[in-house]
């Protein structure tokens, strides 16, 4: 029953028009008045490319992120776009698998019209894109990951809009210490994302005097976690368990651990996705704390959240969540980079514009955008049931 409900939620909230076909429609449908005789001519189109999980166990993350991003792009296009040019996003599905993300990146960058890459979802899928980004000297904007591989050393091509996993880890370990946690075990995904989270929690735990007793890996895109739960719950008991994976894997792990009578607390990174994890766990969310890197998406008292909600409603969306809010924020930064770029827009001019954006106040949410470690966002807060 739960799986059917989640499938309906995903399909009912998935926006249309983010595929290659939307690019052709953008060129044929977007028209502006000509300078003589009232004739019309096709408006210019700003082409962006993206790769994200639109299918598979992590699909909620990719779909919701781009629901929020597309809400802003669509709203902007209705208002005349950027200098009269419409934004068209060519979004390809990688199912959160590296081979598909790499192939998508090659396809996107082989098209000379692609001015920037936007909204990749995940550490491993973003990482495989980076060599192509450097080779093409193109901006890589708003990836849904807090991995250090996109932050250190600073890259002139990568523009983050979220805090790092190291920042999230420090915040959560501080909460662990305040709750009296002295020992922690780690369940982590067997890839670059998982290792990033493991290193983040180890470093933060050491600073706070919390001991990491044991760790165990799970495959990406799996819900088969019973053996790992047994290993971490029965063989090495700890006060808390830190999880580094997607919502489906984390939910399966919590259920397995609870089934083994584990009564400790669970902590997880923002990447898992608060809303899909809450839906998957229901009452079992009690005892789970998650880091968040955007404001509360239901708090319209925050101006950027109010703007997000308005754009979502205009797009026919009635559900608000942190993932789509992050997509909306990333789209806002992408647009600011386009607006400040020198004409004619090229990969080089968009890259230069983003590199010099600096401090941005989106309305109750500030972040620095540009080159160097000082431009990395730091906002982190914790959500969950005690």
List the chain pLDDT tens, one digit each, 386 residues.
333 333 323 332 333 333 433 434 444 443 332 333 333 334 599 999 999 999 998 999 999 999 999 999 999 999 999 999 999 999 999 999 999 999 999 999 999 999 999 999 999 999 999 999 999 999 999 999 999 999 988 899 999 999 999 999 999 999 999 999 999 999 999 999 999 999 999 999 999 999 999 999 999 888 999 999 999 998 888 999 999 999 999 999 999 999 999 999 999 999 999 999 999 998 778 899 999 999 999 999 999 999 999 999 999 999 999 999 999 999 999 999 999 999 999 999 999 999 999 999 999 999 988 865 456 788 999 987 65
Q: Which fold has domain 165-292?
A: Rossmann fold (3.40.50)
pTM: 0.87
Q: Residue 337's CB: how many other CB atoms inside 10 A?
A: 26
CATH assignment, 13-163+299-379? 3.40.50.2300
CA 39, chain centre distance (Å): 42
pLDDT given at position 372: 57
Q: Are 280 and 247 in contact (CB under 8 A)?
A: yes
Q: Are 272 and 278 in contact (CB under 8 A)?
A: no
- What are the residue boundaries of the structural domains of the chain, listed by start? 13-163+299-379, 165-292
C-alpha dist (Å) from residue 339 to 73, 159, 334, 335, 353: 13, 16, 9, 6, 8
Q: Compute the distance between CA of residue 17 and CA of residue 244 in angstroms, rounded to an integer.
A: 32
Token duo for residue 32: 């502006």
The torsion angles phi and psi of 23, rounded to 5 degrees, stand at: -65, -45
- Shared fold status for 13-163+299-379 and 165-292: yes
């Amino acid at each position: 029953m739960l799986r059917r409900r989640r499938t309906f939620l995903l399909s009912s909230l998935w926006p249309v028009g983010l595929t290659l076909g939307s690019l052709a429609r953008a060129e044929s449908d977007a028209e502006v008045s000509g300078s003589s005789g009232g004739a019309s001519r096709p408006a210019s189109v700003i082409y962006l490319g993206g790769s994200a999980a639109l299918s598979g166990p992590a699909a909620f993350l990719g779909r919701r992120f781009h629901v929020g991003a597309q809400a802003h792009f669509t709203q902007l296009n209705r208002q005349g776009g950027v200098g009269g040019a419409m934004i068209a996003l060519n979004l390809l599905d990688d199912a959160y698998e590296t081979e598909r993300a790499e192939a998508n990146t090659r396809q996107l960058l082989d098209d000379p019209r692609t001015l920037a890459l936007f909204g990749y979802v995940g550490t491993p899928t973003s990482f495989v894109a980076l060599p192509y980004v450097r080779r093409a000297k193109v901006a890589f904007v708003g990836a849904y990951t807090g991995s250090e591989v996109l932050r250190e050393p600073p890259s002139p091509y990568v523009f983050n809009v979220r805090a790092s996993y190291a920042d999230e880890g420090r915040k959560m370990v501080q909460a662990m210490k305040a709750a009296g946690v002295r020992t922690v075990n780690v369940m982590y995904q067997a890839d670059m994302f998982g290792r990033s989270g493991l290193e983040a929690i180890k470093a933060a735990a050491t600073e706070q005097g919390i001991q990491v007793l044991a760790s165990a890996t799970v495959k990406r895109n799996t819900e088969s976690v019973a053996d790992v739960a047994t290993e971490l719950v029965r063989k090495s008991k700890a006060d808390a368990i830190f999880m580094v994976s997607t919502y489906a894997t984390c939910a399966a792990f919590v259920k397995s651990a609870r089934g083994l009578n584990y009564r400790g607390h669970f902590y997880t990174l923002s990447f898992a996705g608060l809303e899909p994890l809450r839906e998957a766990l229901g009452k079992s969310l009690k005892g789970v704390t998650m880091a968040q890197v955007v404001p509360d998406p239901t708090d319209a008292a925050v101006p950027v959240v109010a703007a997000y909600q308005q754009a979502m409603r205009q797009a026919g969306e009635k559900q608000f969540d942190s993932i789509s809010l992050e997509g909306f924020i990333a789209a806002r930064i992408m647009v600011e980079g386009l607006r400040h770029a020198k004409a004619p827009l090229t990969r080089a001019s968009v890259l230069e514009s983003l590199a010099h954006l600096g401090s941005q106040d989106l309305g109750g949410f500030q972040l620095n955008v540009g080159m160097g470690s000082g431009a990395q966002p730091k906002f982190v807060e914790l959500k969950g049931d005690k």
